[in-house]
Amino acid sequence: MVIVGAGLAGSLLSVYFAKRGIEADVYERRPDMRKSDAGGGKSINLALSTRGIHALKEVGLYDEIRKISIPMYGRKLHAPDGTLSFQRYGKDDTEYINAVSRAELNRSLMDLSESITGRKIRFNSRCTGIDFAGKVVSFTDDQTGENFSVEAEAVIATDGATSAVRMEMMKIPRFNFAQVYENYGYKELTIPSGSDGGFLMEKNALHIWPRGSYMLIALPNLEGSFTCTLFLPFDKVLGGENSLEHLEERNNLIPFFERNFPDALALMPDLEEQYYSHPTGTLMTVKCYPWTFGDVVTLLGDSAHAIVPFFGQGMNAAFEDCTVLNELIGVHGAEWKKVFAEYQAIRKPNTDAIADLAQENFIEMRDLVADPRFQFKKKIEAELFKRHPDIFIPKYSMVTFLRVPYSEALKRGKIQESILDKLSEGTHALEEIDWSNASALVEQSLTKMEIPKN
């Protein structure tokens, strides 16, 4: 087998294969990141949650990865006047998401891949083409300039949102494809650790400065710093003073932060230097279908379904792809045509759903979290969850703490939202709600859930 891409999904998948005794070689376009600093323009922090953890556990890697993770129990909201408030993610401290450095996680997975598979990842190998009939993958070694090709029993493309393998699949008739960019971009910034090496804000939380049409967020790093991400509309036409275009003018940066994020500004003395030396990130959703071509190739992870980062599910979804692919190998063995066909049929509706959920969650994070009505609905939601723990499960929990299919989470989430809308109408107090009526509504609208074991 040939795996194209030694990112998070490719490295993990190689271990899944090794555990099944399937020989797979991994080819990676970039130089070995364990020997250099090349981040590749990707985001710095990730939120590892149940689906990702489940996959890591399946191949015995979780204990290693847990060591480099920081639990985040909820959202810490920063109001414009500096007031802080906390919104818990789960029902208690047993439910949390994990901040983890993309680079450290990837390095660990590469190490584990090489030691478990006994095979070295081949770096600097840029995929330049696929002969679908002959099952031959062509590469160029970007260090030596050498061209080489490899015969493969089958090819798994884990080469990310701008996948070279997917580019080759565009030549196949009836390949549907869409890449859509948000009108928003982002800047990553760092809040350093304190002089004693400690955290300058609450460590075990995901910090959000929600400002309606834009936001700043921050995730903790092991060494005491925070990685902040500022999400803003690109263009003045859309965002006016609150746009990346407006901030291109150096004089506008500090006033913008003073107006919006004074507490964060106070923790970033070198903000200006950081801001103007860091690249601006883009946000893209990729959808395509089919993901597979016969028994020759399948896409996996971002190459098949890149999403926006606002639900923290990009990596988790990619790892869940691995879980499903591995299950199907368990059923069909190396009958790749069957395995690939069932894999894409199972995963496509779910990755379409998480793409939508991730878009929705941007609005929640940047805007709704600060809205009293939203907060009240969250309280009703928690109460309904208590009363109907296997029927009414908060959407966030279905996505983050359970391995319920994303499409199910999306569908039930919509029904639940309409229930919450009804119950919250015209009242601000839980005591005023008629709970027996509410329970009847829940039982009419929703069936009991089947919850896959974590």
Minimum CB–partner distance for residue 224 and a second copy (Å): 33
Q: For residue 109, which of 227, 18, 204, 220 has the smallest C-alpha distance?
A: 18
Q: Output the smallest distance, CB 344 to a second copy, in A.
A: 16
CA distance 175 to 335: 23
Count of residues that bind a second copy according to CB under 8 A: 13
* Binding flag, residue 176, a second copy (CB under 8 A): yes
Residue number with CB closer to a second copy (212 or 279): 279
Give the position of tokens 């925070």. Answer: 226
Site string for a second copy, 232-261 (x = CB under 8 A): --x---------------------------
Listed ranges 48-56, 175-183, 332-340, 409-417: which one lies at the site for a second copy (CB under 8 A): 175-183
CB of 183 to a second copy, least distance (A): 9
CB of residue 420 to a second copy, shortest distance in Å = 34
Q: Considering the complex, state which of residue 49 and residue 229 has its C-beta at the smaller distance from a second copy.
A: 229
Return the bridge partners of 401, or none.
none
Nearest CB to a second copy, comparing residues 17 and 293:
293
Q: Which stretch binds a second copy (CB under 8 A): 79-87, 141-149, 179-187, 296-304?
A: 179-187
Least Cβ distance, residue 431 to a second copy (angstroms): 48
- Residue 282 binding a second copy, by CB under 8 A: yes
Report the relative pairing of strands 25-27 and 97-101 from DSSP bridges: unpaired
Is residue 426 near a second copy by the rule CB under 8 A?
no
Taking the complex as a whole, the smallest distance from the CB of residue 265 to a second copy amounts, in Å, to 28
Picking from 314, 327, 281, 316, the residue whose alpha carbon sits closest to that of residue 403 is 316
Identify the residue among 81, 178, 425, 429 touching a second copy (CB under 8 A).
178
Q: What one-letter code names the amino acid at 240?
A: G
Smallest gap from Cβ 263 to a second copy, in A, equals 32
In whole angstroms, what is the distance from residue 404 CA to residue 111 CA? 31
Please, what is the minimum distance in Å from the beta carbon of residue 276 to a second copy? Answer: 18
Which lies closer to a second copy via its Cβ, residue 167 or residue 200? Answer: 167
- What does the alpha-carbon distance between residue 137 and residue 139 come to, in Å, rounded to a whole number? 7
Kindly tell me which of 175 and 435 has the beta carbon lying closer to a second copy: 175
H/E element, 228: strand 226-233
Single residue of 177, 258, 371, 414 touching a second copy by CB under 8 A: 177
Distance of CA 280 to the CA centre of its chain: 19
Positions 115 through 174 that interact with a second copy (CB under 8 A): 167, 170, 173-174
3-class DSSP state of 186: strand
Long-range contacts of 102-107 (CB under 8 A, 24+ apart): 102/8, 102/39, 102/42, 102/43, 102/44, 102/45, 102/46, 103/33, 103/39, 103/44, 104/68, 104/222, 105/8, 105/46, 105/48, 105/65, 105/68, 106/6, 106/7, 106/8, 106/11, 106/33, 107/33, 107/34
Backbone angles phi, psi at 453, to 5 degrees: -65, 140
Which phi and psi (to 5°) does residue 174 adopt?
A: 65, 30
Q: Which stretch binds a second copy (CB under 8 A): 176-184, 212-220, 320-328, 438-446?
A: 176-184
Give the residue with the Cβ less far from a second copy, 164 or 315. 164
Interface positions, 180-219, toward a second copy (CB under 8 A): 180-181
* Backbone dihedral angles phi then psi of residue 450, each to the nearest 5 degrees: -95, 120
Output 174 or 453, the one with its CB closest to a second copy: 174
User: Is there a contact between 301 and 13 (Cβ–Cβ < 8 Å)?
Assistant: no
Residues numbered 370-389 forming contacts with a second copy, rule: CB under 8 A:
none
Nearer to a second copy, 234 or 374 (CB): 234
Q: Binding of a second copy at residue 44 (CB under 8 A)?
A: no
The 3-state DSSP class for residue 424 equals helix
Q: How far is the CB of 20 from a second copy (least distance, A)?
A: 32
d(CA 8, CA 29) in angstroms, rounded, equals 14
Of 77 and 283, nearer to a second copy (C-beta) is 283
Residues engaged in binding a second copy (CB under 8 A): 167, 170, 173-181, 234, 282
